[in-house]
Structure 1
Amino acid sequence: MTGKSLQIGLGDFDARLRIYVANPPPIPEIIALHTIQPLVAGQVQAIGQQCGNGWRKVFNVYSKLVFALPPTFPIVRDEYHRWQDWRDNCLLQSGSCCALLFSPPDLTRLTDNEGRPVIHIIAGRQHARALIDDNQLHSQLVWLNGELALDAAQHLLVCPYLDYRQLNNEKIAKVSALLTPLLS
């Protein structure tokens, strides 16, 4: 976006990793959000149970991606050695440094309140193209292949949707490698 935009979604308001998806979980309280709402322990599991396997996959892949990032990304690795434990106890909570957003990216936000880089990821090529077509994304994306695009100046990456089949472990490693230089 060229101007300040309202961010809507789940997670840490000052998130350093912001993943944008086209639609929120089909829960009235989440659909009605007008800001970023942190989750509390147990809510990731509750949303997965209420909304089905697709949302469980989103949370699992998000957590696996965070765990694939370099140790400079602050995810309390000393306390959580497995992505599953981190997902269940930290993902999208206040202080997690992560957000799952349902609004267009605010690319004016390149650093957090402490001056550390903020990374923006659009999950899904179709979602990115819809944002461009709707004039909600102004970026100089360079398509690296049919699934990945990067605008390093805006800390923006387009990757496959957060699903095991689309963003498997090999692709998660590739995404992590692309993000690593942006995190420093």
Structure 2
Amino acid sequence: MAQPDHLGSSQPRLVLYLPHRPDHAEQLALCPSAQALIAANSNHWRKIITLLAKVACPVADDWRGFRDNELFLRTALNFSDQLRPGDHWHWIGGKDNLQRFTTLEHRAQPLATAPAVAIDPDQRLLLTPYPDYRQLSNHTVAVIREALAGIGFYEGNTP
């Protein structure tokens, strides 16, 4: 079976682009869930999807429930070097990962309180360090959420 380029919702609110796939991606593509991904992979993947949940969750304090019950109904992971077409946000984590997108032109502007994070609202593009706790602290996630809320990301996106 070919390795899937996409795990999660076919109509996501947010797509996180990563340069590598989790183990057992073929099975996960058939029925994606946070619990299955965590069980089949390392702690590294738990951190990635937890950060995805913390950013994407409509209610900041409910990220655990969102991760465990709704994450892949509202978001997706993508492993290709092309942005998926559609009316959703694109999150590219990591400078090395961004370099894979050779044809991507954007006007992402760094956030004043988190200069390693940049947003291009016109292209619905979020650029951050790689999604790992050392690079995306809870403070940085809060700054990202505040910036996304300011441009309407969470409007109409409550459970």
Structures share fold, TM-score greater than 0.5: yes
Q: How big is each residue's C-alpha offset from its partner over 1:60-90, in whole Å with a ceiling of 9 and x where there is no partner? A: 11112223x4x6xxxxx9xxx7322221222
Q: Secondary structure at the match of 1:121?
A: strand
Partner of 2:77: helix, strand, or coil? strand
TM-score (norm: length of structure 1): 0.68
Shift of 1:126: 2.0
The aligned residue for residue 122 of structure 2 is 153
- Matched position secondary structure for 2:122: helix
Q: Does 1:128 align with 2:98?
A: yes
Identity of aligned residues (%): 30
| Alpha-carbon shift at residue 182 of structure 1 (Å) | 4.6
Alignment partner of 1:27 out of 24, 27, 40? 24
8 Å contact 1:44–1:91 — kept in the other structure?
Answer: yes
Q: For residue 106 of structure 1, report the CA deviation from its aligned partner.
A: 2.7
User: CA 1:161–1:155 in structure 2 vs 1: closer, same or farther (change >3 Å)?
Assistant: same
2:77 to 81, 91, 100: 100
Correspondence 1:140 to 2:140 = no
Matching residue of 1:4: none
Q: Secondary structure at the match of 1:139?
A: coil
- Of Structure 1 and Structure 2, the greater strand share is in 2
Whether the aligned pair in 1 keeps the contact of 2:93 and 2:128 (CA below 8 Å) is yes
Partner amino acid for 2:125?
L
- Measured in 1, the distance between the counterparts of 2:137 and 2:53 equals 13
Unaligned runs of 5+ in 1: 1-6, 72-76, 112-117
Whole-Å separation in 2 of the counterparts to 1:179 and 1:123: 16
Q: Secondary structure at the match of 2:100?
A: helix
Matching of residue 39 in structure 1 with residue 31 in structure 2: yes
The residue type equivalent to 1:130 in the other structure is R
**CA RMSD, Structure 1 to Structure 2 (Å):** 2.7
Note closer, same or farther for the CA distance 1:97–1:47 as it changes in structure 2 (3 Å cut): closer
Secondary structure of 1:10's match?
strand
Question: Where does structure 2 lack aligned partners over 5 or more consecutive residues?
Answer: none
Query: What is the total number of aligned residue pairs between the two structures?
Result: 148
